[in-house]
Structure 1
Amino acid sequence: MIYTASVMGLLRTILIILLIYFGLKILSRIFAPLLLRFVAKKAEQRFGDQFGGFQNQNNRQNDRRKEGETVIDKMPNKSKNSNDKVGEYIDYEEIE
């Protein structure tokens, strides 16, 4: 059986494609905020699970300290040397 292309078939195909496109567009406007809210809540739970232990440790340490007390957890390395062989500084002026 041989099928021939017709104008009505072409218009019907274009109409179906447009209906699917606009239908998905409307549905995405309805369900996208719900989906994003769900994803954000899940990410918040994961980050809370990962970093929850660190907050408990810091809270215990802060309870032992007096208010206003300064505590240095790590001393910086003093082996940083500047390189004097970089060159000299040249001040540039803009010429009009």
Structure 2
Amino acid sequence: MGLLRTILIIALVYYGIKILSRIFAPFLLKYAAKKAEKRFGDQFGQFSKGQKQEPLKKEGEVTIDKIPNTKASNKDVGDYVDYEEID
């Protein structure tokens, strides 16, 4: 009797979640779409504002905003070993 009751409870919970997800899924998707649209709109707004604030540059003028990190190679790592292929 306990096994049958457990299986019945699991089936009811499964079908309950299935029905509720069909009811609430459109609302959740709409909410997620609005949130993503707002996030992308904010990013685009920041991008376009950043473009407007830059001073006009003469054609051919080059500016470097950030110097990339360059790592010096370590010469003490090991020795180069030449090898031959053996057939």
State the TM-score, normalized to the length of structure 1: 0.49
Specify the alignment match of 2:31 in structure 1: 35
Say if 1:50 and 1:15 are closer, same or farther in 2 by CA, change over 3 A. Answer: same
Gaps of 5+ in 2: none
1:88 aligned to 2:71?
A: no
Match of 2:62 among 56, 61, 71: 71
Matched AA of 1:86: V
Gaps of 5+ in 1: 1-6
Specify the alignment match of 1:53 in structure 2: 49
Name which one, 1 or 2, has greater alpha-carbon Rg. 1
Shift of 1:88: 1.0
Question: Percentage identity across aligned positions?
Answer: 28
- SS in structure 2 opposite 1:73? coil
Root mean square deviation of aligned Cα: 4.1
Aligned residues: 83
State the TM-score, normalized to the length of structure 2: 0.52
